[in-house]
Chains A and B, each alone.
Chain A
């Protein structure tokens, strides 16, 4: 539901702003108990039956925003429990990343075919005739579906002349591309963490705002306040996210005002990765030594690919992801700094914690969380007069943020470095379609291909931490790409430095 400002959006953003304010003010952290009363003032409920439930849910969102775990609803506690101890300069994070707040969940039914009030009990009742399992009958003059027998094929929905039958999908489960959402003993949504890859699509789809992920802004602000050298690497999806006044140069200036000592484009690592994967493709895939190459910059996709398709796992690129590659570049020049990845993505929070690759990334925050910091600090893009410039990457690296951009960048490198090689590309958006593409590959029909997978529809600009609707974000990215004098990743000065 990006592009539409709902009460869920309002509460989520208010929580980020208030938590950021709390961190900036410091002092007695028992003050956190006051936040729900600022976000949900008065005595009359606005969103739910009871104002106490509204405040309790906000309280849980605040705990998650501070990085603390949800508290069991049947135990006595205060929101402030553990806040003081988490006011530190290192990331506070224990899995799980994405959490359902159980008492916020509306206990929506699981997928079902439903007869709505549109049904007129017509003479023809074709719904009855088309059902392959005889699940539909006419009861009290209206069509009735026996849920025990129904196999959800949808034929009744397709044939009804009044469109009275609908397929009802629980929004969180429908958004989840790996079918990780189940139900607990009370019918509330429950995430199966063996399947979940933390893409975050469920948390932006729940119309009751019952799902949220943990944040690191509280600790990040403390790290900056403590005087550490904190450097920002910002993902190419950032352009336009903070409004039209927040041009790329102004965003850099705003980050410097927040206390980051330097700002780099994650597109640097994207440029490097594109070149490396171009070489890999030509030497291993085009040569026939390996059947295909799958990109790995999207962590939700690459975890899903390696876990659910073990035969394909060896062919998922082991090039450093742009986040990690850029962090390494920064660490070489600034070895004592703390590095913060600012991006559109929930799954990157997990990737940064992975022990298998030393990520060199100390914190991960999303654009929405960063916006909370801007508001808390009173940063005003319209009042900035500086002329900061962001100029680290090529158009190719910047294009990584839109679906198709990774494949384009690699293909352009192949064309540039190996003009005689013909590269074949397939790509998918959304984890369900990604899985379909991998099944086709497993069946042997994608040999010789480069496969780009994006967990979020639209690519990274559709990520769980974004604020801007797809069309505007895509336009903004294109404009920023055009501004770069270098079009192909091979021209990046960071790539040339590496080649030496």
Chain B
């Protein structure tokens, strides 16, 4: 019996969120909350993999305030990220994985 998870390895999606001062001011922590909220609706989105959130460092060059907040979903950089755009990008990557 062929099960969905068998051929594709458990897909891991890495979301890196820049947490420099300007990005935090412009909502980086709130973006982390919205990405985490996706973990709770994985079933609705038909995704079996794991989403890892990395908030260790500054993603852009120093003082990139104009581009804040900065987020990279699976390596793809999003400038002036907002929760709708980020969640849309994550869902797009999830679908590409299956």
A binds B: yes
> Do A10 and B26 contact each other (CB < 8 Å), given the known contacts A5-B31, A244-B55?
yes
Q: Is the CB of B58 within 8 A of A472?
A: no
Closest to A240 in B: B29
Most chain-A CB neighbours within 10 Å: which of B24, B26, B31, B55? B24
Partner of B29, one of A374, A379, A469: A469
Total interface residues in chain B, CB < 8 Å: 25
Distance in angstroms between the alpha carbons of A5 and B82 in the assembled complex: 8
> Cβ of A386 < 8 Å from any Cβ of B?
no
Q: CA A429 – CA B7 in complex, angstroms?
A: 50
Task: State the CA gap A372–B55 with chains docked (Å).
Answer: 21
Q: How far apart sit A71 and B33, CA to CA, in the bound complex (Å)?
A: 37
B15-48 contact mask (Cβ, 8 Å, vs A): 1 or 0: 0000111111111111111100000000000000
| Known interface pairs A4-B30, A244-B55, A380-B62; A13-B21 also in contact (CB < 8 Å) | no
Give the distance in Å from the alpha carbon of A467 to the alpha carbon of B25 in the complex: 9
Q: Is B93 an interface residue (CB 8 A)?
A: no
Q: How far is the CA of A375 from the CA of B56 in the complex (A)?
A: 19
Dominant secondary structure of chain B at its interface with chain A: helix
From A4, A13, A243, A378, B63 is in contact (CB under 8 Å) with A378
A245 within 8 A of B: yes
Q: Contacts A9-B27, A10-B27, A243-B28 hold; do A4 and B21 have CB atoms under 8 A apart?
A: no
Taking a contact as CB atoms under 8 Å apart, the answer to whether A468 and B29 are in contact is: yes
Q: Are A242 and B24 in contact (CB under 8 A)?
A: yes
Task: Give the A interface residue count (CB, 8 A).
Answer: 26
A3 in the interface, Cβ–Cβ < 8 Å?
yes
Q: Are B33 and A381 in contact (CB under 8 A)?
A: no
CA distance A469 to B32 in the complex (A): 10
For B47-69 the 0/1 string (1 means CB < 8 A from A) is 00000000111100011010000
CB distance A383 to B62 under 8 Å? Answer: yes
B19 in contact with A244 (CB, 8 Å): yes
Query: Could you say which residues of chain B place their CB within 8 Å of the CB of A244?
Result: 19, 55-56
Q: How far is the CA of A284 from the CA of B27 in the complex (A)?
A: 48
- Distance from B60 Cβ to chain A, minimum over Cβ atoms (Å): 11
Within the complex, which residue of B29, B34, B62 is in contact with A243, where a contact is CB–CB below 8 Å? B29
Report the minimum CB–CB distance from A409 to chain B (whole Å): 27
Which single residue of chain A is at the shortest CB-CB distance from B33? A3
Q: Are A380's CB and B30's CB within 8 A?
A: no
A353-390 at interface with B (beta carbon < 8 Å): 371-372, 374-375, 378-383
Task: Write the nearest CB–CB distance from B46 to chain A, whole angstroms.
Answer: 25
Counting CB contacts under 8 A, is A17 at the interface? yes
Q: CB-CB < 8 A to B22: which residues of A?
A: 375
Shortest beta-carbon distance from B50 to chain A in Å: 19
Nearest B-chain residue to A9, judged by Cβ: B27
**Is A243 in contact with B19, judged by CB distance below 8 angstroms?**
yes
Residue of B nearest to A467 (CB): B29
Q: When chains A and B are docked, how far (Å) is the Cα of A380 from the Cα of B22?
A: 8
For B28, list chain A residues within 8 Å (CB).
243
When distances are taken between beta carbons in the complex, the residues of chain B under 8 Å from A472 are: 29, 32-33
* A17 and B65 alpha carbons, distance in the complex (Å): 12
The CA-CA distance from A66 to B63 in the complex, in Å, is: 26
Q: A243-B21, A380-B62 are in contact. Are A3 and B55 (CB under 8 A)?
A: no
Shortest CB distance B16–A (Å): 12
Given contacts A242-B21, A469-B33, contact A5 B83 (CB under 8 A): yes
* B26 surroundings in chain A (CB, below 8 A): 5, 10, 13
B-facing residues in A6-65 (Cβ within 8 Å): 9-10, 13, 17
* One of A3, A375, A383 near B25 (C-beta < 8 A): A375
Question: What distance in Å separates the Cβ of B37 from its nearest Cβ neighbour in chain A?
Answer: 9
* 8 Å CB contact of B27 from A5, A372, A381, A383: A5
Chain A residue contacts of B65, Cβ below 8 A = 375
* Residues of the B chain whose Cβ atoms lie less than 8 Å from the Cβ of A378: 21, 63
Given contacts A17-B25, A379-B21, 9 further A-B contacts (CB under 8 A): A5-B30, A9-B30, A243-B19, A243-B28, A244-B19, A246-B24, A372-B25, A382-B19, A469-B33
Chain A residues near B (Cβ < 8 Å): 3-5, 9-10, 13, 17, 242-246, 371-372, 374-375, 378-383, 467-469, 472
Residue contacts A-B, CB under 8 angstroms, 21 given: A3-B30, A5-B31, A5-B83, A9-B27, A10-B26, A17-B25, A242-B21, A243-B24, A243-B28, A244-B56, A245-B20, A245-B57, A245-B58, A246-B24, A371-B24, A375-B21, A378-B21, A378-B63, A379-B21, A380-B63, A382-B57
